[in-house]
Structure 1
Amino acid sequence: MSIDPVLARIDSQLPAALERLMELLRIPSISTDPAFKPDCARAADWLVEDLQSLGLKASARPTPGHPMVVAHGGPEGAPHLLFYGHYDVQPVDPLDLWDRDPFDPEIQDTPRGRVIRARGASDDKGQLMTFVEALRAWVAEHGSLPCKLTIFFEGEEESGSPSLIPFMKEHAEELKADIALICDTGLFADTVPAIVTQLRGLLGEELTITAASKDLHSGMYGGAAMNPIRVLTRILAALHDDEGRITVPGFYDGVPEIGDNLKKSWQALGFDEKKFLGEVGLSELAGEKGRMALEQLWSRPTCEINGIKGGYTGDGFKTVLPSKASAKVSFRLVGEQDPVALRESFRAMVRSMLPPDCEVEFHGHGTSPAGHMDTAHPAFETARQALTEEYGVDAAYVGCGGSIPIAGYFKSILGMDAMLIGFGKDDDQIHSPNEKYDVESFHKGTRSWARILAALAKS
Structure 2
Amino acid sequence: MLQNTLARIDRAVSGEALERLFQLIRIPSISADPAYAAACRNAASWCATQLNEIGFEASVRDTIGHPMVVGHYKGAGEGKPHILFYGHYDVQPADPLELWETPPFEPQVSGEGDAAKILGRGSSDDKGQFMTFIESARALMEEEGALPVNVTVLLEGEEESASPSLLPFLKDNVEELKADVAFVCDTSQWDAKTPAIATRLRGLLYEEVFIEGPAYDLHSGHYGSAARNPIHVLTKVLADLRDDEGRIQIPGFYDGVAELTADEKAQWESLGFDPQAFLAEIGLKEPGGEKAYSVLEQIWARPTAEVNGIIGGYTGDGSKTVIPAKASAKVSFRLVGEQEPDKIREAFRAFVAARVPGDCKVTFKSHGGEGAITQPSDSEWVARSLTALTEEWGTEAKLIGMGGSIPIVAQFKRVLGMDTVLVGFALDDDRIHSPNEKYNLTSFHHGIRSWARILSALGA
| Residue 58 of structure 2 corresponds to residue 63 of structure 1 | no
Go from structure 1 to structure 2 and tell me whether the alpha carbon gap of 1:173 and 1:238 turns closer, same or farther (over 3 Å shift): same
Provide the C-alpha distance between the structure 2 equivalents of 1:106 and 1:305, rounded to a whole number of angstroms: 33
Among 135, 149, 152, the alignment partner of 1:150 is 152
Structure 1 match to 2:387: 385
Structure 2 match to 1:190: 192
Go from structure 1 to structure 2 and tell me whether the alpha carbon gap of 1:108 and 1:352 turns closer, same or farther (over 3 Å shift): closer
CA contact (8 A) 1:77 1:148 kept: no
Go from structure 1 to structure 2 and tell me whether the alpha carbon gap of 1:320 and 1:175 turns closer, same or farther (over 3 Å shift): same
Go from structure 1 to structure 2 and tell me whether the alpha carbon gap of 1:138 and 1:219 turns closer, same or farther (over 3 Å shift): closer
| Residue 5 of structure 2 corresponds to residue 6 of structure 1 | yes
Among 348, 359, 362, the alignment partner of 2:361 is 359
**SS in structure 2 opposite 1:151?**
strand
What is the Cα deviation at residue 221 of structure 1?
A: 4.5
CA contact (8 A) 2:339 2:371 kept: yes
TM-score by length of 1: 0.93
Query: Residue 3 of structure 1 aligns to which amino acid in structure 2?
Result: L
Among 260, 285, 289, the alignment partner of 1:283 is 285
Structure 1 match to 2:123: 121
Structure 2 match to 1:402: 404
1:260-301 CA deviation, whole Å, 9 max, x = no partner? 111111111111111111222321122112211110001100
Provide the C-alpha distance between the structure 2 equivalents of 1:324 and 1:34, rounded to a whole number of angstroms: 25
Query: Residue 280 of structure 1 aligns to which amino acid in structure 2?
Result: I
What is the Cα deviation at residue 456 of structure 1?
A: 1.4
1:202-254 CA deviation, whole Å, 9 max, x = no partner? 11222222333344455554444444333333322221122211111110111
Query: Residue 32 of structure 1 aligns to which amino acid in structure 2?
Result: A
TM-score by length of 2: 0.93
Provide the C-alpha distance between the structure 1 equivalents of 2:61 and 2:218, rounded to a whole number of angstroms: 54
Query: Residue 199 of structure 2 aligns to which amino acid in structure 1?
Result: T
What is the Cα deviation at residue 319 of structure 1?
A: 5.2
CA contact (8 A) 2:121 2:436 kept: yes
What is the Cα deviation at residue 318 of structure 1?
A: 5.3
Structure 2 match to 1:72: 72
Provide the C-alpha distance between the structure 2 equivalents of 1:183 and 1:313, rounded to a whole number of angstroms: 39
Deviates more, 1:395-404 or 1:27-36: 27-36
Consecutive unaligned residues in structure 2, runs of 5 or more:
none
Task: Give me the identity figure in percent.
Answer: 57
Query: Residue 288 of structure 2 aligns to which amino acid in structure 1?
Result: A
CA contact (8 A) 1:75 1:145 kept: no
Consecutive unaligned residues in structure 1, runs of 5 or more:
none
Go from structure 1 to structure 2 and tell me whether the alpha carbon gap of 1:26 and 1:243 turns closer, same or farther (over 3 Å shift): closer
Residue-pair matches, total: 457
Go from structure 1 to structure 2 and tell me whether the alpha carbon gap of 1:382 and 1:320 turns closer, same or farther (over 3 Å shift): same
Equivalent residues in 2 for 1:194-343, closer than 5 Å: 194-218=196-220, 220-314=222-316, 320-343=322-345
CA contact (8 A) 1:252 1:337 kept: yes
What is the Cα deviation at residue 28 of structure 1?
A: 2.8
Deviates more, 1:315-324 or 1:240-249: 315-324
Aligned residues: CA RMSD: 2.1
What is the Cα deviation at residue 321 of structure 1?
A: 4.1
Go from structure 1 to structure 2 and tell me whether the alpha carbon gap of 1:227 and 1:18 turns closer, same or farther (over 3 Å shift): closer
Provide the C-alpha distance between the structure 2 equivalents of 1:254 and 1:351, rounded to a whole number of angstroms: 24
Query: Residue 201 of structure 1 aligns to which amino acid in structure 2?
Result: G
